[in-house]
């Protein structure tokens, strides 16, 4: 190859080199293995679950999403938003006028298993990952799904001067009681929580212990240690990307409901101007959540919101699903010893997956890996319970969801 040829075609060669590297990288990611780490006590019940859930052994990510940041961002930007028409009810949750919105994707039939879905920070039923979970559970298992919103989320109105809080399980407890009152004691109810919702679900399960009204739960991408997660989010890169975006979402949330906080005299320590100037999630929590809920400081709040200490108290069969490369909620916060001492827990740590993403296939516009794992787990639990459901959609078999 002559020097003149290289000189004349240098630009083409320079462009070809990164393309070739990228192609080689994709090919390598297609053939490599991604063995998941499964942590559990090998009881007969857990071994049965494992035999029914082949997806637990490996999650194969979309080949061209080379790192957790791409995976996380594309999980938000790339997936299509399915069209679902919800039936919304407003559930009263306290004596001061507080309500939460619960979106049913359809009215449940008598005996039809129900899946409660808990969203992430400032999310709701209009998030892609929520809707694809609904479609997956309904199409594969004929489940009825109900999205339980945090206060003021999901385009709902805050009806009292009380925002959501990661340390509070009260609203979830009221939601489970409401769903149970509709379907009765014999119909299975499962719950899946994502990110913030996963942490609240973990704490709820631990607090309830043997009194839990759920037949199974899935904890996806949870922050088990809020102090660790917050410190992780304050690294330089995270501060200027995820932290800034999430903080702006929180500021928009409080602006939308500011009339409740401007007129009340019950929260003298809540300064809205300081809240609007928050640069990080920690700032926002210090100015908004701490004074509302009476925490000593933000560290006290994060300690109370950390769900890791509740894992040992869970008495509901529960799947924990997290990615080792999660850039927002580090899996290091999961206390492995507590999982290995609780026969009700199965933890699956995937090699990749990002945060609430788990995209798969070459063109990841639809179902994600978490949909597959959740469906397999619930199906296995229903088999364990020897529960079968024959869908009868006649009007007389539909249950009343009104409060």
Instruction: Indicate which residue of 168, 195, 212, 278 is catalytic.
Output: 195
On whether residue 379 sits in a domain, the answer given is: yes
State yes or no: pLDDT of 270 exceeds 70.
Answer: yes
| Mean pLDDT within 139-160 | 96
Instruction: Indicate which residue of 355, 357, 368, 370 is catalytic.
Output: 355
Instruction: Answer yes or no: 94 catalytic.
Output: no
Cβ-contact 332, 18 below 8 angstroms: no
CATH number of the domain where residue 203 is located: 3.40.50.1820
Q: Give the domain range for residue 92.
A: 30-225+306-385
Which pLDDT value is given to residue 68?
96
Say what the pTM is.
0.93
Instruction: Answer yes or no: 9 catalytic.
Output: no
Residue 53 shares a structural domain with residue 160: yes
Residue 96 shares a structural domain with residue 155: yes
Q: Among the residues of 32-169, which ranges form H helices?
A: 44-52, 68-77, 128-141
On whether residue 143 sits in a domain, the answer given is: yes
Which pLDDT value is given to residue 24?
77
Which pLDDT value is given to residue 13?
40
State yes or no: pLDDT of 391 exceeds 80.
Answer: no
Residue 176 shares a structural domain with residue 322: yes
The 10s digit of each residue's pLDDT in 81-126 is 999 999 999 999 998 899 999 999 999 999 999 999 999 999 999 9
Residue 68 shares a structural domain with residue 105: yes
Residue 154 shares a structural domain with residue 287: no
Which pLDDT value is given to residue 5?
47
Q: How many domains does the chain have?
A: 2
Residue 220 shares a structural domain with residue 262: no
Instruction: Indicate which residue of 326, 357, 368, 370 is catalytic.
Output: 326
The 10s digit of each residue's pLDDT in 294-305 is 999 999 999 999
The closest alpha carbon to 289, from 253, 265, 316, belongs to 253
Residue 176 shares a structural domain with residue 62: yes
Which pLDDT value is given to residue 18?
62
Cα 76 from Cα 322, distance rounded (Å): 17
State yes or no: pLDDT of 315 exceeds 90.
Answer: yes
E strands, 41-135, in order: 87-92, 99-104, 114-118
* Residue labelled with tokens 């108290």: 313
Which pLDDT value is given to residue 4?
57
Instruction: Answer yes or no: 212 catalytic.
Output: no
Question: Strands across the sheet with 114-118, in order?
Answer: 37-40, 345-350, 318-323, 216-220, 189-194, 114-118, 144-148, 99-104, 87-92
Residue 273 shares a structural domain with residue 177: no
Q: How confident is the model at residue 367 (pLDDT cuts 50, 70, 90)?
A: very high
Which helix (H) or strand (E) segment is 38 a member of?
strand 37-40
State yes or no: pLDDT of 28 exceeds 80.
Answer: no
Which tops the pLDDT comparison, 386 or 271?
Answer: 386
């Amino acid at each position: 190859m002559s020097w003149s040829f290289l000189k004349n075609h240098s630009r083409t060669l320079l462009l070809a080199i990164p393309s070739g590297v990228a192609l080689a990288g994709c090919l390598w990611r297609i053939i490599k293995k991604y063995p998941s780490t499964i942590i559990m006590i090998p009881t007969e019940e857990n071994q049965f679950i494992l035999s029914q859930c082949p997806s637990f052994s490996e999650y194969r990510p979309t080949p061209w999403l080379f790192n957790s940041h791409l995976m996380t961002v594309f999980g938000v930007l790339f997936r299509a938003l399915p069209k679902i028409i919800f039936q919304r009810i407003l559930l009263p949750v306290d004596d001061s006028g507080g309500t939460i919105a619960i979106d049913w994707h359809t009215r449940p039939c008598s005996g039809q298993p129900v899946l409660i879905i808990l969203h992430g920070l400032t999310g709701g039923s209009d998030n892609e990952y929520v809707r694809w979970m609904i479609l997956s559970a309904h199409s594969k298992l004929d489940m009825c799904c109900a999205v339980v919103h945090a206060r003021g989320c999901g385009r709902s109105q805050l009806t009292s001067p009380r925002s959501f809080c990661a340390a509070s399980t009260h609203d979830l407890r009221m939601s489970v009681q409401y769903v149970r009152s509709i379907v009765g004691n014999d119909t299975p109810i499962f719950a899946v929580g994502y990110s913030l919702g996963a942490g609240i679900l973990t704490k709820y399960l631990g607090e309830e212990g043997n009194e839990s009204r759920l037949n199974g739960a899935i904890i996806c991408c949870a922050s088990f240690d809020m102090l660790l997660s917050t410190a992780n989010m304050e690294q330089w890169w995270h501060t200027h990307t995820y932290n800034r975006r999430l903080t702006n979402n929180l500021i928009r949330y409080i602006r939308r409901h500011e009339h409740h906080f401007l007129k009340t005299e019950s929260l003298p320590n809540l300064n809205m101007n300081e809240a609007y100037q928050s640069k990080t999630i920690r700032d926002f929590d210090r100015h908004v959540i701490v004074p509302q809920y009476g925490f000593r400081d933000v560290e006290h709040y994060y300690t109370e919101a950390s769900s890791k200490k509740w894992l040992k108290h869970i008495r509901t069969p529960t799947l924990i699903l997290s990615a080792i490369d999660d850039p927002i909620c580090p899996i290091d916060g999961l206390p492995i010893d507590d999982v290995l001492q609780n026969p009700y827990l199965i933890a699956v740590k995937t090699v990749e997956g990002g945060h609430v993403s788990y995209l798969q296939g070459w063109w990841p516009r639809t179902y994600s890996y978490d949909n597959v794992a959740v469906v397999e787990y619930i199906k296995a639990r229903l088999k364990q319970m020897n529960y079968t459901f024959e869908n009868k959609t006649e009007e007389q078999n539909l249950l009343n969801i009104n409060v």
